[in-house]
Amino acid sequence: MQNLQPFHTFSLPAKAKKIIEIHSIPALQQAWQDCLAEQLPVLFLGQGSNVLFVEDFDGAVLLNRLLGIEHREDADFHYLHVNGGEVWHDLVRWSIEQGYYGLENLALIPGCAGSAPIQNIGAYGVEFKDVCDYVEVMNLHSGELFRLTNAECEFGYRESVFKHKYAQGYVVTAVGLKLAKAWKPVLKYGNLANLDKSAVTSADVFAEICAVRQSKLPDPNVFGNAGSFFKNPVVSAQQFERLQQNYATIPHFPQADGSIKLAAGWLIDQCGLKGFQIGGAAVHQQQALVLINQGNATASDVVELAHHIYQLVALRFDIHLQPEVRFIGKQGEIDSQQAIR
């Protein structure tokens, strides 16, 4: 068994039968065939920034290290073809330096470009779907490379077709981004609303988001974590009205379909859980949405802590939080919500 601790940002003790770095499409095909022949389960990882290994993985972990960015443009748009192993934040910073704007709100989201469409990553009013032109996918059984349009990806809140139809036997090899030359800042959330819309630049937005994230969120090199542990829950207008009667200042974000998105971090904070600890796992002091490894946590500490949070929030608000982090068991991904109930 090989040590997985350096390859996931929670930095919990975990092992896998094999760990293989993938630098090319032929190497990817070969590794997949070898694993099939050995009947090994396969898990694809980028930066390992959104996973919790609840036990040792009885298979091969393939690390996406497919690198390279190609640019083309027309009168209205910049188009980027980005290979899946590119580090997302480095891509955001590089694009702004090149004068290709539109990714700035997605700064400092951990992970690789190939993981971005799976989760439909998002922050500060922008989601991956807003900048996605296409996603390039490989059918591992046939070796066929094909592209899905934005619509075919079926993006939703932390949702996509890659969690369902293309979850098994397929891998994202590259993403296509489409960035408008007529850049319009998105300044709806938090401190961004204080920026002067008429004078602000993409670099200003990038700098502000980096500053806010660094002040609130723990550095995975100091405290292992997987970023936001839970999804922000979406409730009906009726349920929200009932909640607002008891909690007048509850942060809320109306959605296009009439439902209301709530802030999971606020709900957890209202339960008095900032700093709460089980074993070596704790709720982060600055941002209750983030669970941290204080250095000696085990996976069961994290699961137990998540269970405790789930129970308290359900009891107080009648809201059942869903983990955003993917839980990985012996054979592969397991039902995370089932695991914390």
List, by residue number, the catalytic residues. Answer: 158, 228, 324
Q: What is the CA radius of gyration of the chain?
A: 20
Task: Name residue, tokens 């982090």.
Answer: 325
Q: Which long-range contacts (CB under 8 A, 24 or more apart) does 328-332 make?
A: 328/43, 328/51, 328/52, 328/53, 328/54, 328/57, 329/54, 329/55, 329/57, 330/55, 330/56, 330/57, 330/58, 331/41, 331/58, 331/59, 332/41, 332/43, 332/57, 332/59
The residues that bridge with 327 in the sheet, in sequence order, are 52, 334
Q: In what order do the strands lie in the sheet with 2-3?
A: 2-3, 15-22, 57-64, 42-45
For the chain, the farthest-separated pair of C-alpha atoms sits apart, in whole angstroms, at: 60
Q: Please work out, in degrees rounded to the nearest 5, the angle formed at the alpha carbon of residue 116 by the alpha carbons of 113 and 117.
A: 120
Q: How far from 138 is each of 45, 57, 142, 166, 241, CA to CA, in Å?
A: 15, 23, 8, 10, 45
Residue pair 139/98 in contact by the 8 Å Cβ criterion: no
CB of 163 within 8 A of CB of 118? yes
Of 187, 273, 167, the residue nearest 229 (C-alpha): 273
Backbone angles phi, psi at 19, to 5 degrees: -130, 120
Give φ, ψ of 50 to 5 degrees: -135, 30
